[in-house]
Structures are given as structure tokens and as C-alpha cells.
């Protein structure tokens, strides 16, 4: 019987996972079940029991942070025995190491360069310019996303089969061919190449594959549910000889299909490895039982899963709160009041987090927090009024409002492109400084005196004429400031630029602008709105110390907090309409997994909420409570509202209150929910 120190703090399932060292093993590790402890203890056990030398173990993670943590934990157990654990790292770092040893097999020199995203963008831009492809309509980042998708599926240019549903792939394929040839000319590769080249080397050179397949007696993989096709293929090629491959992960936390992750790698592990052992880690060390019960009940509605039931030795804890609000503004007020008046006395603000489905949702919370002086941070993103597209919109409004706003002028005079290059702008700046006048006035004077080159003159004149027209709309026609921004976005070409430009981030940019238009409705005029923005972007700069966390659910994966707020659980928003439209049932199940991830971030308290109405693009939209709410177990819920009459101008609202209003005026969300709870 093995009775080592590293086994003492393991539960029975964890211990079994550590000691099972013969053959393929899938560890289904529920949220907060101690998978890192199992992985590190397993590595230590293999070395302690002399099953393999450190350099015969391959341990793969997705992030440098995870790799470093694993290295440190193994070292703390093994001390000097950990020396030589040279194949522990990320997929990309290990593949880079392999590729340098066998670069010639991929037509590279061993000193090849690994190019970053900026280099990739620059290279694609140059190719598009040479091939007369308009990057305003087909953004380099979008082109690269298609190329990356092909590489994740194991396709060199000659292997690609065009997806007829994607109208852009036909245009991108010739670019891909040129791009790969350019990389070879430069003796370079991108991150996608690191794994793809290694796989192709192994497939085309069985002798090289055999060297590593023989060497790696044990293979361990973290977050296996996030692997894509090419990563899984690489692992299988390396595990071919000994088949001692141990994959750890949670299929219920597979939320990255949009970046190539394939959940079927996890679900079909026992089909690839027929004699695979499956061990479930179901003991959760993070959350209270009520939180786990709600999460488990929800995820059980998914069909495509291995299946497990989380449990904990901790107390039941507080019931999960389910709150209904009249609208999104009240939701932000309710949540901020709950934090300010109750939770901050009991918990550190650093341990309170609000998880949203879409990044534009942070705006209402930011507005409220700024108003009451509640410090906050955006994790994995940028604060609303600091986002590029929002700053662009505000700059357009500022230059219309005030003709001497040089900072605003500088930002938007060539945004979108108007053939006004850096050289022209430098000349305008020089003229402005010399004559002590604004950039706008300098531009006018230089045009009058023919000091601007013809092409730039056309673009600059057009812009200046538009600014004059917009000022007339505002000051003479007395146009509403919300309508004014809509006109500006259309007439400037900014809206068209975003709509035409196929880019991964454009959907978020458009959503943020729509949210800005909603925000502007709350102000009587342009002056008060611009003043608000100025204050909003400066007030939090003095905040130090503890802050509430705001982030998307995707950004929250791998994190944990004492208190989690989950607002906006409404149909169309969560589950997100686009996800269901594009992927059908698979999309719905991934959205449900995202909900599961969100709930299981909470250690002590989880609060879910939805609104019956949302203010969207200047109009009130009826909301329907998310279908996920109907899948939550009643016995683990406390249905109420955080809305308090004493702290609001609105009427008091109870979750199950029957309004004294006509049925036809109630939102679909309210009606639907009433049917459920009766």
C-alpha cells in the first residue's frame, strides 16, 4: 500500500486518479474539485514510483500561468527529483521546442521567428494591398480568423475545402496560400503553425513520431474540453506507443467553440481509447451545496455530456437568489444597493463579481457605480466610455459642440479613412501651432490657401462641410442629441464602415454603440451628456484599494469569488440569440454550459436576475425570462427582489406581486413567468 505524503489530503476519487497509471484515463473534474492537485500529485507519483523519468513525462496546459502553477506544485512535492521535468508547458511552447529540433522537415531553419498578431495583421494588409482586396470590407483580423480555423482543423492551403455557407472563404483561400508562402520566405510561423507543422512532421516522418512516442511514457493534459482538432490529433500521435494518456477537464465547462474547441474530443475519448478508465471528481471544495444543486440541475438539461453530480461537505449555505426587476436600470440599482448596503459589510469588494453575457451590459452598472461612488474594475475588457468606438462617437459629438476641441478633431478627422494621411495632419498641427488657432480653423485656412494636397483636400473639405451641417442640425434645427449622433454616424460613413467591415469584434462594437444611444436618452441635451462622459472617465482614476469586478462569463472561467451576480437572464440575451441561430441545439447547450460556469464561480452566494423590460436603442423592449430560469430547482431558490421602495422613486415591487394593471400591458416575460410559478 502506497502511503506517501502527497496522497494524504486527497479524497478517494482523487487518490484513484493519481494511482491509476496503466492505460488511458479520462478525469471528469467538476468545478472546484481540485483537478490541479490531482494532476500535480499524479506527476509526483509517477516519478516517485519510478514509472518514468521526469523527461519522459509530457504535461500540457493552455496558459503559461497554469503551467507555472503546475511546475511549482510538483517542485514543492518532489524537491530535487523534479529536475528534468522539461516537457511541462503550453501546447504552443512545447510544439515550438519540437519544431526547432525538426525545422527542416517543415522547410524552416531552426532559428525561425514566431510572429505575433500585429505582425500577422501587417503581413495580411500587405498581401491584400498587393491583391487589390479592400480591407475596409474584409478586415485582416477576420481573414486571420478563417486561416486560424483552417489550421485548427489541420488544413494547409491545398487541403482546404471551401464552406459554401461562408461567402468569404473563396476570397480568403488565395490569401492563405500567399500568406503561407510569405511565412516560409521570412523563415517564420504563426501560433497556428506551431502545432500544425508538428502534426504534419509526425505524419510524414513516422521515424520522428516514433522517437517522441517512445520517449513520452506518460502524457497529461489539462482543460481537455478546450482542445481543438489539431491539438487532439497531436496528442494522439504522441500517445500512440504507450497509450498512457491522462486527460483532465470538465465537458460542462466547454464554452469556447467559437475559437475552435471541440467538445467531441472529450465526449469521444473512450471511443478513441477503447480501454479508457473514466474517473469522476464530484467533490467540490469551492461552493455551498445550494449553489451546486442549482448548477447541477441546470446542466442536467444538456444531452451531450459525460455526466456527474457535484456535492460538497460544506453547509447548504444561502439559497440562490432569483430576482425580477421592472427594467435594466432598476436591476443595476438593485444590485448596487445590495452590494453597498449589505454585502460590503460582510465581504471584500474584491470578492464580489458581476458576470454578464455580453460586454455592452456593463454600461448600466458602470453608470450606477459612478453615481454612488462604488469602485469597480473591468476584468478582461475595457470600461464602457474608454472603448474605441464609444470614444469615436463622443469625439464626433464634441467637435460638433465645440469647434476648438483639437483632441476630438485629431481622433475623428480621418476616421473613417478620408485620405488624410499622417503627413497632412502634421502640417495642420504645425500651422495651428504657428498661428495659435485650432486644428479645425487651421484646416480651413490651409484649404483656402491651397496648402493641402488635392486628394487630402477633397476628404478634409467633405469632413469640414459635414461638421458645419451637423452644427446647424444641433443649433438651428434644434435636433435631439440622440438623433444627431445617428445622423453623424450615417453621414460620416462610420456606420457603414462597421457594417461593411467583416471583423470578429464588430458585433460587439455595434452593440456598444446601440447601448450608447440608449444611455444618451437619459440626458436632456448634448451638453449634459458630454459633461457626464467627462466626469465618468475621470472619477474612477482616484479609486484605490478594493473594487467590485465586472466581466463577461467567458472571462470568468477559472476564477472564483465569494459573491456572484448574474444579471440579464432573458431570452435573446441569455441564451444569446445568435448562438442558437448559428448552431441550433449545440449552441443552446453551450449557452447552458456558460450559465453553469457562471453559477459555479460563486463560493458563498449567487444572485440571478432578469428584467421585464430593457431600454434598447432608444426604445423599451419587452423581455422574456430566460428558459434557463425555468430549469432551476425551486427548493434551492429564494425568489424576491432587491428593489426597495425606500431607496427608489419607483413603486415597491415584489417578485410574486400581482400588479393592478391590465393583462395586455404586461410584458411577455412577466406573463410567461407567472404561468411557470402558478
Q: Is 36 labeled as catalytic in the residue annotation?
A: yes
8 Å CB contact between 573 and 358? yes
Backbone dihedral angles phi then psi of residue 667, each to the nearest 5 degrees:
-70, 155
SS3 assignment, position 345: helix
Which DSSP helix (H) or strand (E) runs through 222?
none
N-to-C CA span, the chain: 58
What three-state secondary structure class fits 441?
Answer: helix
Q: What are the cell numbers at 504?
A: 470578429
**CA–CA distance, 217 with 46 (Å, rounded to integer):** 10
Whether 601 sits among the annotated catalytic residues: the reply is yes
Which of 15, 16, 36, 125 is an active site residue? 36
Residue 337, CB half-sphere, CA atoms under 13 Å: how many?
A: 14
Of the candidates 616, 628, 617, 609, the one whose C-alpha atom is nearest the C-alpha of residue 571 is 628
Cell numbers at residue 105, please?
A: 522537415
Q: Please give the torsion angle defined by the CA atoms of residues 456, 461, 467 and 470, in that order, rounded to the nearest 10 degrees.
A: -130
For the chain, give the longest Cα–Cα distance: 93
CA 174 – CA 177 distance, rounded (Å): 5
Q: Which of 222, 440, 590, 591 is catalytic?
A: 222
Name the β-bridge partners of 188.
113
Does residue 222 have an active-site annotation? yes
Phi-psi bin for 493: left (phi > 0), alpha (psi -120 to 50), beta? left
SS (H, E, C) 117-184: HHHHHHHHHHHHHHCCCCCCCECHHHHHHHHHHHHHCCCCHHHCCCCCCCCCHHHHHHHHHHHHHHHH
Please enumerate in sequence order all residues whose Cβ is within 8 A of that of 437, keeping only pairs 6 or more positions apart, or say none. 445
Which helix (H) or strand (E) segment holds residue 426: the answer is: helix 422-435
Let me know how long the chain is: 678
E strands, 577-653, are 602-616, 619-622, 637-640
Cell numbers for 316: 447548504
Classify each residue of 255-271 as buried b or exposed e, where b means 16 or more C-beta atoms within 10 Å of its C-beta.
bbbeebbbbebbbebee
Neighbours of 129 (CB within 10 A): 11
223 an active-site residue? Answer: yes
Place of cell 501546447: 91
Letter string b/e over residues 53-65, b meaning 16 or more CB atoms within 10 A of that residue's CB: ebebbbbbbbeee
Q: How many CB atoms lie within 10 A of CB 140?
A: 21
Separation between Cα atoms, residue 238 and residue 496, nearest integer Å: 49
Please identify which of the residues 387, 501, 509, 601 carries the catalytic annotation: 601
Of the residues 190, 223, 392, 440, only one is catalytic, namely 223
Q: How far apart are CA 164 and CA 24, in angstroms?
A: 38
The 10 Å Cβ neighbour count of residue 344 is 16
Catalytic status, residue 268: no
Catalytic residue among 253, 289, 361, 362: 253
Active site residues: 35-36, 222-223, 253, 601
Amino acid at each position: 500500500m502506497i502511503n506517501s505524503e502527497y496522497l494524504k489530503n486527497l479524497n478517494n476519487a482523487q487518490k484513484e486518479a493519481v494511482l491509476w497509471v496503466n492505460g488511458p484515463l479520462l478525469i471528469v473534474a467538476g468545478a472546484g474539485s481540485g483537478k490541479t492537485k490531482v494532476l500535480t500529485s499524479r506527476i509526483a507519483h509517477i516519478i516517485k514510483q519510478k514509472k518514468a523519468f521526469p523527461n519522459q513525462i509530457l504535461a500540457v496546459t493552455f496558459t503559461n500561468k497554469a503551467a507555472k502553477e503546475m511546475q511549482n506544485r510538483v517542485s514543492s512535492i518532489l524537491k530535487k527529483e523534479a529536475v528534468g521535468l522539461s516537457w511541462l508547458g503550453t501546447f504552443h511552447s512545447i510544439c515550438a521546442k519540437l519544431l526547432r529540433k525538426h525545422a527542416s522537415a517543415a522547410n524552416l531553419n531552426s532559428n525561425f521567428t514566431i510572429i505575433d498578431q500585429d505582425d500577422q495583421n501587417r503581413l495580411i494588409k500587405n498581401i491584400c494591398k498587393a491583391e487589390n482586396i479592400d480591407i475596409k470590407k474584409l478586415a485582416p483580423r477576420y481573414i486571420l480568423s478563417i486561416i486560424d480555423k483552417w489550421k485548427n482543423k489541420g488544413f494547409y492551403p491545398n487541403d482546404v475545402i471551401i464552406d459554401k455557407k461562408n461567402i468569404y472563404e473563396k476570397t480568403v483561400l488565395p490569401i492563405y496560400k500567399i500568406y503561407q508562402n510569405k511565412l516560409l520566405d521570412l523563415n517564420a510561423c504563426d501560433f497556428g503553425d506551431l502545432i500544425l507543422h508538428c502534426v504534419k512532421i509526425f505524419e510524414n516522418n513516422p521515424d520522428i513520431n516514433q522517437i517522441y512516442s517512445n520517449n513520452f511514457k506518460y502524457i497529461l493534459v489539462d482543460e481537455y474540453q478546450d482542445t481543438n482538432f489539431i491539438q487532439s490529433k497531436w496528442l494522439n500521435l504522441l500517445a500512440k506507443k504507450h497509450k498512457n494518456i491522462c486527460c483532465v477537464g470538465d465537458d460542462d465547462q466547454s464554452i469556447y467553440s467559437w475559437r475552435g474547441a471541440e467538445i467531441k474530443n472529450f465526449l469521444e475519448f473512450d471511443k478513441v481509447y477503447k480501454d479508457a478508465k473514466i474517473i469522476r471528481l464530484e467533490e467540490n471544495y469551492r461552493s455551498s451545496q445550494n449553489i451546486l444543486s442549482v448548477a447541477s440541475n441546470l446542466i442536467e438539461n444538456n444531452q451531450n455530456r459525460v455526466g456527474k453530480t457535484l456535492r460538497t461537505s460544506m453547509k447548504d449555505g444561502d439559497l440562490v437568489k432569483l430576482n425580477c426587476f421592472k427594467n435594466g436600470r432598476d436591476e443595476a440599482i438593485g444590485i448596487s444597493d445590495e452590494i453597498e448596503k449589505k454585502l460590503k459589510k460582510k465581504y471584500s469588494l474584491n470578492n464580489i463579481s458581476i458576470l454578464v453575457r455580453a460586454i455592452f451590459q456593463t454600461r448600466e452598472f458602470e453608470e450606477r457605480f459612478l453615481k454612488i461612488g462604488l469602485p469597480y474594475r473591468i476584468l478582461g475588457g475595457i470600461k464602457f466610455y474608454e472603448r474605441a468606438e464609444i470614444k469615436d462617437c463622443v469625439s464626433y459629438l464634441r467637435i460638433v459642440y465645440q469647434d476648438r476641441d483639437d483632441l476630438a478633431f485629431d481622433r475623428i478627422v480621418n476616421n473613417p479613412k478620408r485620405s488624410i494621411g499622417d503627413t497632412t495632419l502634421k502640417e495642420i498641427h504645425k500651422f495651428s501651432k504657428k498661428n495659435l488657432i485650432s486644428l479645425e480653423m487651421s484646416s480651413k485656412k490651409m484649404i483656402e490657401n491651397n496648402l493641402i494636397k488635392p486628394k487630402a483636400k477633397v476628404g478634409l473639405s467633405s469632413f469640414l462641410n459635414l461638421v458645419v451641417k451637423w452644427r446647424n442640425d444641433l443649433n438651428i434645427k434644434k435636433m435631439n442629441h440622440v438623433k444627431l449622433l445617428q445622423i453623424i454616424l450615417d453621414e460620416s460613413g462610420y456606420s457603414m464602415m462597421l457594417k461593411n467591415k467583416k471583423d470578429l469584434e464588430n458585433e460587439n462594437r455595434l452593440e456598444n454603440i446601440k447601448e450608447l444611444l440608449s444611455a444618451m436618452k437619459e440626458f436632456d441635451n448634448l451638453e449634459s451628456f458630454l459633461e457626464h462622459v467627462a466626469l465618468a472617465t475621470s472619477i474612477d482614476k482616484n479609486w484605490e484599494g478594493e473594487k467590485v469586478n465586472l466581466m463577461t462569463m467567458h472571462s470568468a472561467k477559472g476564477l472564483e469569488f465569494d459573491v456572484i451576480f448574474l444579471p440579464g437572464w432573458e431570452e435573446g440575451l441569455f441564451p444569446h440569440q445568435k448562438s442558437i441561430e448559428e448552431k441550433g441545439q449545440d449552441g443552446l447547450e453551450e449557452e447552458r454550459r456558460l450559465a453553469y460556469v457562471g453559477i459555479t464561480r460563486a463560493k458563498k452566494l449567487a444572485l440571478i436576475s432578469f428584467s421585464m423590460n430593457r431600454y434598447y436603442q432608444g426604445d423599451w423592449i419587452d423581455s422574456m425570462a430566460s428558459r434557463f430560469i425555468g430549469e432551476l430547482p425551486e427548493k434551492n431558490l429564494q425568489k424576491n427582489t432587491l428593489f426597495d421602495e425606500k431607496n427608489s422613486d419607483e413603486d415597491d415591487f415584489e417578485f410574486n406581486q400581482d400588479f393592478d394593471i391590465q393583462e395586455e400591458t404586461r410584458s411577455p416575460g412577466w406573463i410567461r413567468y407567472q404561468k411557470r410559478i402558478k
